[in-house]
Amino acid sequence: MGALQSLLELVKDNPREEVNSLASMVRKLISDLKSFYAPLEDTHAYSVEGINRDGGAYLKSWLVEPAEVFEREILQRDAGTVLTSATLAVSGSFDYVRRRLGFDRYRGTVREFMGAEIFDYAQNALIYVESGGIPAPTYG
């Protein structure tokens, strides 16, 4: 790690564009290495994901219960936060995301708005089933 820090010090203030991009790559590598070799935390789930474009696998982690971190990092800021997604509501309700992100215990103002369904599935979706069956997928 020390060698990477030294490299970063050498290139971080270089005015050439190629060298500047190298500095950001070194920062990312340092961050990834620290994250990869850090002790596993009970608050996270981990998996080794598929092959990346360089041919290697990568470690992925995510919070199992994100409410505490979301409240600390997002809700306690001095700025408003807007969450928007086509999939925040489950079965016409925000209850699930409200619990997962800790809004159910948040004391600030929360406003929710669920827009109208804009995708007409009955008119715009088609399911086709091959009458002779679909062959099993092959790998490799």
- pLDDT above 60 for 140: no
Q: How far apart are CA 99 and CA 88, in angstroms?
A: 12
Structural domain including 2 reads 1-38
Residues 70 and 20 in one domain: no
Residues 71 and 116 in one domain: yes
Residues 22 and 68 in one domain: no
Residues 31 and 76 in one domain: no
Residues 124 and 78 in one domain: yes
pLDDT at site 22: 79
Residues 71 and 22 in one domain: no
Residues 69 and 129 in one domain: yes
pLDDT band at 1 (very low <50, low <70, confident <90, very high): low
pLDDT digits (tens, 9 = 90+) for 40-92: 777 778 887 777 777 777 777 777 788 888 887 887 777 777 877 777 888 88
For the chain, how many structural domains are there in total?
A: 2
Rg (CA), the chain: 23
Distance of CA 38 to the CA centre of its chain: 19
Q: Is residue 113 part of a domain?
A: yes
Q: How far apart are CA 89 and CA 114, in angstroms?
A: 8
Residues 140 and 71 in one domain: yes
pLDDT band at 125 (very low <50, low <70, confident <90, very high): confident
Q: How far apart are CA 105 and CA 67, in angstroms?
A: 9
